[in-house]
Amino acid sequence: MFERIAPEQHDTLPDIPEPAENPILVGHDSARSMLAGAYRAGKLHHALLLAGPRGIGKATLAFHLALHLFTHPDHAMAPDNLDATDLGTQAFRLLAQGAHPGLLHLTRPYSERDKKFRTVITVDEIRRVNRFLSMTASDGGYRVVIVDPADDMNTSAANALLKNLEEPPPRTLFILIAHSFGRLLPTIRSRCQTIKLQPLGAEGLEELLHRLGMELPTGEEERRLLIERSGGSVRSAVLLTQFGGLEIAATVEKILGGRTLDVAESFRLAEATVGRDRQVQFDLFNRIALDRTADAAAQAAEDGQVEQAARLALLWEELAADTREVEVFNLDRKQHVMGTMQRLHAALGNLR
């Protein structure tokens, strides 16, 4: 039975390991080999940007690389591939617990006053980097800073990090995780070696879900839909199977497929995705709505409907902004869900 030892994060899922404590890394073989080889050759870039969709293993790869550096402080003696994680080592336990002296993990901080995680990585979090780097590593090894995800930084935080990236101390590695590459400052992107990671294939996704103990649909069609809608993201697959995501997605499609907006069905959808202990379902709804809008925009562009594609792209931006405002200002979530469905139905009506 899984027992969590890592600190809880803003996006922690029950019974699913945090990247810091996850010994399982599936896929990304070329990136893993390249990073291990660069380290062994003494040519590892001081700032890495791991970019790709959410939930494909970017942060897990970052922690595996950090553990590799801590386990092999002499790069010339390091193996030419990332080691299989040994759960019994002190380095792994310290890393998993967020207590390794060589690692600083920056993510959305928890607000004791508000009793919830903040919606951004603040400049106060980034200021911790200077204090961390002012301390000498106890064994003369690497110090690793992981920013997870970097696209959660507000402008002040991003500018503060930029100063650290410009002149890092020796034997310092920055690893930035990015779900939305384009949201990062161009000046930050230019100072990093970008490694674009691809979504997991169907085989890799099923293997990882199996190793995590997740139950997959038994029916062939249901399994196909899960793999298709997951988009190569194990996080999306877990959400779809364990938190009602498949049902939410089916309801959204049913409403959008009607010639007129089904207000009663939209109300039932809102009831199912808001309220106490429904944060995951609310996040799922917003993700599904944004993905549906993005897919429609991409299809319109492919069909040569330039104006329609532009309108849908603008709608995506507006819906994303609305979602952030609901979280920041604690607005009415039920009204948000119903309003989103109304806007989507109207925007996609001429595509049916």
Residue 66: strand, helix, or coil: helix
Contact 289, 319 (CB under 8 A): yes
Arithmetic mean of pLDDT over the chain: 92
Per residue in 147-202, pLDDT (tens digit) is 999 999 999 999 999 999 998 899 999 999 999 888 899 999 999 999 999 999 99
Stronger pLDDT, 32 or 231, i.e. the higher one: 32
Structural tokens at position 226? 């899960």
> pLDDT digits over 18-53, tens only?
999 999 999 999 999 999 999 999 999 999 999 999
Confidence of residue 352 (pLDDT cuts 50, 70, 90): low
Q: What is the CA angle 139-45-183, rounded to 5? A: 115
Residue with the bigger pLDDT between 229 and 274: it is 274
Give me the pLDDT at residue 350, please: 52
- In this prediction, residue 135 carries a pLDDT of 84
pLDDT digits (tens, 9 = 90+) for 297-326: 999 999 999 999 999 999 999 999 999 899
* Confidence band for 138, pLDDT divided at 50, 70 and 90: low
CA distances from 315 to 77, 142, 284, 289, 318 (A): 53, 44, 18, 11, 5
Provide the H-helix boundaries in 122-219.
Answer: 123-133, 155-166, 186-190, 202-211
Q: 19-196: CATH homologous superfamily?
A: P-loop containing nucleotide triphosphate hydrolases (3.40.50.300)
* Structure confidence by residue, pLDDT tens digits, 323-341: 989 988 889 999 999 999 9
* Residues present in the chain in total: 352
Q: Which residues face 56 on adjacent strands?
A: none
Structure token digits, residue 117: 């995680």
**What pLDDT digit, counting tens, does each position of 80-101 carry?**
898 777 878 999 999 999 999 9
Cis peptide before 101 (omega within 30 of 0): no
